[in-house]
Amino acid sequence: MTVTSIISENVVTLKVSGRLDTETSSQFREEMKQIPQNAEKLIFDFTDVNYVSSAGLRELLVCRKQYPGDRMTIINVQENVYEVFEMTGFDAIIPVEIAKDHDAAYMTLSFKSFLEKKVQTESGRVVVKTDTDSYTWSDIDKCSQLVADDLAKLGVKKGTHVGLISANSINWIITFFAIQKLGAMAMLFNFGLFPHETAKVASIADVTHLCYGEMPAAQDEEAFLNEVKNAEGSTVKFTYSIKKSIDLKQRYDEYESMKDKFGQTVDADTPCTVIFTSGSTGKPKGVILSSYNILNAAVSSRKNQTLNSSDRNCLILPMFHIFGLVAGLFANFLADCLICLPKDIRTDTLLNLIEKERCTIFHSVPTMMIALVNNKSFDPPRCSTLRCTILSGAAATVSQIQMFREKLPNEHFISSYGLSEMAPVSASDYGDTDEHLLYTVGKPFPNIEIKIQDYVTKKECRLREQGEILVQGYNLMMGYYKLSPDDQSIDEDGWLHTGDLGYLTEEGYLCLSGRLKELIIRGGENIMPGEVESVISSLDGVNMVKVFGVPSDFFGEEVGACIKMQEGFAFDEEKIRSELSQKLAKFKIPAYFVEYKDFPLLGSGKIDTVTLKKDILSRLSKG
């Protein structure tokens, strides 16, 4: 518990945070002794108080005796804390004001308490709609209680590492809450993994229980599970199916016998979720997060999107990814939006769903947006209800965003930046200018700090001077699971070293310029792949491009470009080189072009850069 005091004209405001209980009550009493004797009024701000015990109430009663009448009040009390005052009659003894800000009540809730609160206040509200059914908060609570009981019988308890691997589904959401009810750790797997990759990630994270649903590599379910469990070094001992075909509502007759189970308290700051880095740069790392990290990030994202209860989100962002979990799932849950889960992510399916449900929100990565507007059945009126799309996961080019604006004129596009380790970091405003949308990733969110550091001298860069992006804030991860201190990306001053390059403008906007590890050094010249990609993407007929450094005996590295043309356009290397010569310095023009019909993608929708780079290097080595 901490207490911060502000004194103004004999009125003392004390901002209290944490728990006011037996352990902290003596500290609280000592803090009260520091109040000036001439104080005429005492105001306690309980915005960040998440628990008050009988000992805490006793200390407040002592204060009340010293400050009777209107000389003492408690403001911004969370609903779960207010219930303690109401239950004990203390709401009649001390003036108490419940938090008016809708979000304030969520700031220090565990996911378990978050669900309990939603059931108390919005039990019958439909919050998720699938292609076959609808689910209220009450449904999610009951179903997650059933799953929690099943998992408990398999040995899951507080601290157990439970893997969750499945394409988006209502059962994924239900199982996530079930894991939280037990105080276990939800380890969120990419559902695109092969069996041996699943076993590898499980061993990295000490996962003993695996909840699985639909996955491309699990067409033969039995073979998939056998390979996972029998792989060398596998830690998985138990598996539990959460496939879409399992309708948990059919088991409601079991609910009464278990509805009061799992009543233990889970704190908001307790580690409860692990998200794995996508693996696009090598071995996955487990990012440890709490509900405090995720829910507070979702609060910021909700405000940035201007979400409200009338919004309807066509959710295709994978929920195992930080973007999908924060901006897709919990930002919408906070705003009481309706989440529509498509049966698959084929563009025909998405167009039909957006049109039928009159969806207003559709977040995506640029590759999916391109596929959607290039669908033969696409027609702007079918998507006329869409009002907000966050583009993240990969930078969109100027030409791509201009195309999106033309095809979807009612849309507000938001450019954002975040990492598995900390998201969101920054975003453009809902009504921002084209210049900010096209050339920046917005301003940092409140209480997020950004520093640009020279990657050679380690000194802080000036405005518009490029360097590595360092970040810190309330939603920063606790660290990577079981990695040594030297391998942790957080430095001794608490800054996360992102490995991304960028700069800050005079207005405070962040501009990305590439990845530190992607920097191509050609004969002493530094070349950022992102700059080359942006110019090539602007050429007529180019659909997608990815640039890599490729080995060169003479220069050390040369520029190589993987390129995909739009339908109806033929790849003409000579023409492209001619156009680039007018837009890029000679040393930045790719020495090699390799044409692709399709790029390999990760489950998150990002380009699988590891596979793509291996492929271009293999092709070039063969001449």
Average pLDDT over residues 13-27: 88
Please report the pLDDT score of residue 276 as a whole number.
92
Distance between CA 375 and CA 397 in Å, rounded?
A: 20
CA distances from 51 to 57, 462, 483, 524 (A): 11, 44, 33, 59
Q: Please report which confidence band the pLDDT of residue 599 belongs to, taking 50, 70 and 90 as the band edges.
A: very high
Please report the pLDDT score of residue 280 as a whole number.
40
pLDDT(572) > 60: yes
Residue 429 · residue 304 · CB < 8 Å: yes
CA torsion through residues 451, 456, 459, 461, sign: negative
To which H or E segment does residue 504 belong? strand 496-504
Please report the pLDDT score of residue 105 as a whole number.
57
Please report the pLDDT score of residue 106 as a whole number.
62
Tell me which of 4-18, 119-133, 187-201 is least confident: 4-18
Residue 96 · residue 212 · CB < 8 Å: no
Helix ranges (H only) for 311-441 are 322-323, 331-335, 347-357, 366-373, 398-407, 434-439
Distance between CA 564 and CA 542 in Å, rounded?
A: 6
Above pLDDT 90, what percent of the chain?
67
pLDDT(419) > 60: yes
Residue 137 · residue 125 · CB < 8 Å: yes
Residue 513 · residue 532 · CB < 8 Å: no
- Which one of 3.40.50.261, 3.60.21.10, 3.40.50.1400, 3.30.750.24 gives the CATH number of domain 2-100? 3.30.750.24
Average pLDDT over residues 590-615: 87
To which H or E segment does residue 65 belong? helix 54-66
The mean predicted confidence, pLDDT, of the chain is: 90
Average pLDDT over residues 205-214: 97
Average pLDDT over residues 132-144: 98
Please report the pLDDT score of residue 393 as a whole number.
63
Average pLDDT over residues 85-92: 91
* CATH number belonging to domain 519-621: 3.30.300.30
Helix ranges (H only) for 206-253 are 221-230
Question: In the chain, where are the structural domains located?
Answer: 2-100, 102-288, 519-621
Average pLDDT over residues 431-444: 89
Tell me which of 275-284, 404-413, 451-460, 536-545 is least confident: 275-284
Residues 6+ apart with CB under 8 A from 241: 211, 212, 213, 221
pLDDT digit string, tens, across residues 498-520: 988 899 999 999 998 877 777 78
Above pLDDT 70, what percent of the chain?
96
* CATH number belonging to domain 102-288: 3.40.50.12780
Residue 281 · residue 608 · CB < 8 Å: no
Q: Residue 584: helix, strand or coil by DSSP? A: coil
pLDDT digit string, tens, across residues 39-50: 899 999 998 787
Distance between CA 477 and CA 474 in Å, rounded?
A: 9
The predicted model scores a pTM of: 0.75
The length of the chain in residues reads: 623
pLDDT(176) > 80: yes
Q: Residue 556: helix, strand or coil by DSSP? A: strand
Please report the pLDDT score of residue 102 as a whole number.
57
Of 143-157, 506-520, 593-607, the range with the highest mean pLDDT is: 143-157
DSSP state of 361: B
Distance between CA 276 and CA 198 in Å, rounded?
A: 12
Burial 199-212 (b: 16+ CB within 10 A, else e): bbbbebbebbbbbb
Please report the pLDDT score of residue 100 as a whole number.
67
Please report the pLDDT score of residue 103 as a whole number.
63
To which H or E segment does residue 415 belong? strand 412-419
Q: Are strands 238-241 and 209-212 parallel, antiparallel or unpaired?
A: parallel
Helix ranges (H only) for 129-194 are 137-153, 170-181
pLDDT(384) > 90: yes
Please report the pLDDT score of residue 281 as a whole number.
41
Residue 264 · residue 270 · CB < 8 Å: no
Q: What's CA 519's distance to the chain center, in Å?
A: 26
| Tokens representing residue 322 in the block | 């930080």
Average pLDDT over residues 595-622: 86
Please report the pLDDT score of residue 65 as a whole number.
92
pLDDT digit string, tens, across residues 244-288: 999 999 999 999 999 999 988 888 889 999 999 854 445 789 999
Phi, psi of 288 (to 5 degrees): -90, 125
Best CA proximity match to 423, nearest among 577, 317, 310, 309: 317
Average pLDDT over residues 173-195: 95
Q: Residue 441: helix, strand or coil by DSSP? A: coil
How many helices and strands (H and E) does the chain possess?
18, 29
Average pLDDT over residues 376-386: 95
Residue 439 · residue 511 · CB < 8 Å: yes
Tell me which of 137-146, 290-299, 608-617 is least confident: 608-617
Please report the pLDDT score of residue 114 as a whole number.
94
Average pLDDT over residues 119-129: 94
Q: Residue 206: helix, strand or coil by DSSP? A: coil
To which H or E segment does residue 298 belong? helix 291-305
CA torsion through residues 150, 155, 157, 163, sign: negative
